[in-house]
Structure 1
């Protein structure tokens, strides 16, 4: 009976957990750490979460003012419904700054205001104004949408050309707050252009390079729990001197 319960736990429960929860389970004991770190478990987890789950994507039909959801499973897909956009704008007139757990953080091009929107439920929240931090400047600001260790959704907004500031928006309190950062790391050059943030585990990564250049000069990491920036540099590859990373 004990062996049966262990098999059910390992092959029917653990394989269906989210990646973040699997990371936590690896700290339970050495046996779980060993099992959850094997290629075999990785294949089981991928199979359990990808074969049965339906993926949802958004599509904007050509010459249309609508956004449609498309559900696809394995190699088949089919159109589901047309979504009503909660903005008086064409889909091409807003920019997606980040996406997480089915929600989008978008910026309207005409007024630079930011909102969090769930296309499937239709819920929308306009981000409040705080020292110009509800306005996103496309060619100068950096942004990330993330989840911290307390499972709170937050937004990170970096302004580094006109007014140097780093602010965090809390979805619980619905407020912005400015944080103190190492200016030599974050604001090294007013001509820098940042990418939008990429969330990986407990860090958000930004590529940084000069505005008029297509090359990346460094990668900055923002710790979502400590709320600090560090320069993680660039990966080392055995290429000839003078080779640069192209920005993505």
Structure 2
């Protein structure tokens, strides 16, 4: 064991231990801290732990919040673990907006404040600032959570006020917001268009945009998290002249759309 190579310890042993244990192992030495902080280690750790017997489901009810093991093939639940809220709020006002690697971006609806929250560890960060950043308005705003450069978890917040869209990115490492350009057709910034929460696939965030309540336009916006460029994508052909909507999902790093028509 004393002569066991570091790469073997990292890739074959620490990818199999619980996340808290792996995080504590960063304190062993600078080399371990660097290797365990890499995105490649996080992906390897997730691939080891996200087996059918290790899945966890976060369930939020009106009066309680808990995590349960779940067997997806049979839909059977295991014993639940109560999750206490680390922030001052009733569970009924907590709205989950986006998730990535077990990290949640939620809105506390009684204050409109955005929070990054890890239900497993209880760690959380309030994103609202005195300058007014990090405040979320339902139906007009949307968010996307992604992992940026240097393993920095970031939140993209798109807000529409008076039919004008503004975009800001929060950096978890820096603990601050910055404004970015988000070039879209001004027509889609009007509040009659509904913007979905983002779906992350690879290094890209995708948003579906649909014209509400009428047989209107539907499209997808692609946001490259590296270049911060925006591309408009057409919906697939729909064999109906009625109202239709689509939901995006990432399946093994491949983007799919579930699409339905009618009311």
* Distance of 2:81 and 2:49 partners within structure 1: 24
What residue is the counterpart of 2:176 in the other structure? 175
- Check conservation: 1:185, 1:229, Cα contact below 8 A: no
What residue is the counterpart of 2:245 in the other structure? 246
CA deviation after TM superposition for structure 1 residue 72, in Å: 2.8
What residue is the counterpart of 1:193 in the other structure? 194
What residue is the counterpart of 1:58 in the other structure? 58
What residue is the counterpart of 2:120 in the other structure? 120
| Alignment: residue pair count | 207
What residue is the counterpart of 1:33 in the other structure? none
CA deviation after TM superposition for structure 1 residue 243, in Å: 5.1
TM-score by length of 2: 0.67
Q: CA 1:66/1:204 → structure 2, altered by over 3 Å: closer, same or farther?
A: same
What residue is the counterpart of 1:210 in the other structure? 211
Q: CA 1:128/1:52 → structure 2, altered by over 3 Å: closer, same or farther?
A: same
Equivalent position SS for 1:218: strand
What residue is the counterpart of 1:105 in the other structure? 105
CA deviation after TM superposition for structure 1 residue 149, in Å: 4.3
| Structure 1 segment 34-49 matched on structure 2, within 5 A | none
CA deviation after TM superposition for structure 1 residue 150, in Å: 3.1
What residue is the counterpart of 2:160 in the other structure? 160
- Check conservation: 2:117, 2:125, Cα contact below 8 A: yes
CA deviation after TM superposition for structure 1 residue 85, in Å: 1.0
Q: CA 1:65/1:165 → structure 2, altered by over 3 Å: closer, same or farther?
A: same
What residue is the counterpart of 2:234 in the other structure? 233
What residue is the counterpart of 1:78 in the other structure? 78
Q: CA 1:72/1:223 → structure 2, altered by over 3 Å: closer, same or farther?
A: same
TM-score by length of 1: 0.71
CA deviation after TM superposition for structure 1 residue 153, in Å: 0.3
Q: CA 1:51/1:145 → structure 2, altered by over 3 Å: closer, same or farther?
A: closer
Q: What whole-Å deviation, never above 9, does each CA across 1:76-107 have from its counterpart, x for those lacking one?
A: 53114211112333322111011111111110
The gaps in structure 2 that reach 5 residues or longer are: 1-10, 17-38, 248-263
* Distance of 2:200 and 2:130 partners within structure 1: 24
Q: CA 1:102/1:50 → structure 2, altered by over 3 Å: closer, same or farther?
A: closer
Once superposed, what is the RMSD of the aligned Cα atoms?
3.2
* Distance of 2:79 and 2:109 partners within structure 1: 28
Equivalent position SS for 2:185: helix
* Distance of 2:70 and 2:189 partners within structure 1: 44
* Distance of 2:224 and 2:193 partners within structure 1: 21
Equivalent position SS for 1:150: helix
The gaps in structure 1 that reach 5 residues or longer are: 1-11, 25-45
